[in-house]
């Protein structure tokens, strides 16, 4: 079956779950609001600029997971899903997933955001396969460290190749949807790259390459505006 691969943040979601999780923690008083928001914003700007040090960011973003027990974290995430994430899932995003599901394609989300944040989102979207950055767990608790290769930039390609080998899937007739120039290594690898509400760098690259460009921000799947 053809593989339909989806980035998550600002692609299937009309927002960035990693950044918003940090903001949510600050709003809930779990982390110091001023300090955390300043660093959270800095890392987000570096991500958009393509200069993010993924290990520095993960040290920052995974630390709160190590400071709370699993039940507390699960309760926080349920509230996060209800108040923050579900409103960011547009009808257009669900429709795109359903198109591929109805066609019999194998659905896969691949995201740099950690698995704790993204696994419940993938379940909400009905996507059974998820490749995400894995937080380390020891004796049932998060350590604040990353396990294995972060699922970011070239790391997405490495993780995908490993998954293909483990599952017996392949990239024949594959499609990958993403909003970010950080995903160019994987976009260049698949049969059909698709830019979705892309950043300026990806939009320019997509125009040069003649790649399709879609918007999932509304009730229907639409072509990107001509000026994008």
Return the domain boundaries, the chain: 3-223
138-154 per-residue burial string, b: 16 or more CB within 10 A, e: under 16: eeeebebbbbeebbbbe
Our CA angle for 171, 177, 183, nearest 5°, is 85
- Catalytic (active-site) positions: 7, 9
What integer pLDDT is reported at residue 173 of this predicted model? 97
Q: What is the pTM of this model?
A: 0.95
- 66-113 pLDDT tens trace: 999 999 999 999 999 999 999 999 999 999 999 999 999 999 999 999
The sheet carrying 129-138 orders its strands as 141-147, 129-138, 106-114, 3-6, 175-178, 192-196, 213-215, 222-223
Please give the pLDDT value at position 228.
61
pLDDT at 34 over 90: no
Q: Which pLDDT value is given to residue 37?
A: 86
Residues 157-205 pLDDT 10s? 999 999 999 999 999 999 999 999 999 999 999 999 999 999 999 999 9
Give the fold, CATH level 3, of 3-223: Rossmann fold (3.40.50)
**How many other C-beta atoms lie within 10 A of the C-beta of residue 99?**
12
Residue of higher predicted confidence among 161 and 40: 161
3-state secondary structure of 177: strand
**Region 115-143: what's the mean pLDDT?**
98
pLDDT of 36 reads: 87
pLDDT greater than 80 at residue 227: no
Determine phi and psi for 6, rounding to 5 degrees.
-130, 130
Asked whether the predicted pLDDT for residue 60 surpasses 70, the reply is: yes
């Amino acid at each position: 079956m053809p593989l339909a691969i989806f980035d998550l943040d600002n692609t299937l979601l009309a927002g960035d779950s990693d950044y918003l999780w940090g903001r949510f923690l600050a709003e809930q008083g779990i982390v110091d609001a001023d300090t955390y928001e300043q660093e959270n914003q800095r890392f987000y700007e570096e991500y958009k600029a393509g200069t993010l040090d993924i290990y520095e960011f993960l040290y920052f973003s995974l630390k709160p997971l190590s400071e709370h027990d699993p039940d507390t974290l699960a309760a926080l995430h349920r509230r996060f899903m209800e108040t923050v994430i579900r409103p960011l899932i547009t009808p257009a995003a669900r429709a795109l997933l359903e198109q591929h599901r109805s066609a019999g394609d194998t659905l896969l989300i691949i995201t740099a955001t950690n698995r704790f944040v993204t696994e419940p989102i993938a379940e909400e979207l009905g996507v059974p396969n998820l490749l995400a950055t894995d937080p380390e767990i020891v004796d049932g608790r998060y350590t604040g460290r990353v396990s294995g290769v972060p699922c970011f930039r070239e790391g997405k390609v490495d993780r995908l190749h490993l998954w293909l080998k483990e599952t017996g899937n392949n990239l024949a007739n594959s499609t990958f949807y993403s909003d970010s120039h950080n995903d160019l290594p994987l976009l260049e690898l698949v049969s059909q790259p698709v830019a979705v509400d892309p950043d300026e760098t990806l939009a320019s690259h997509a125009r040069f390459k003649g790649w399709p460009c879609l918007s999932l921000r509304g009730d229907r799947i639409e072509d990107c505006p001509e000026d994008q």
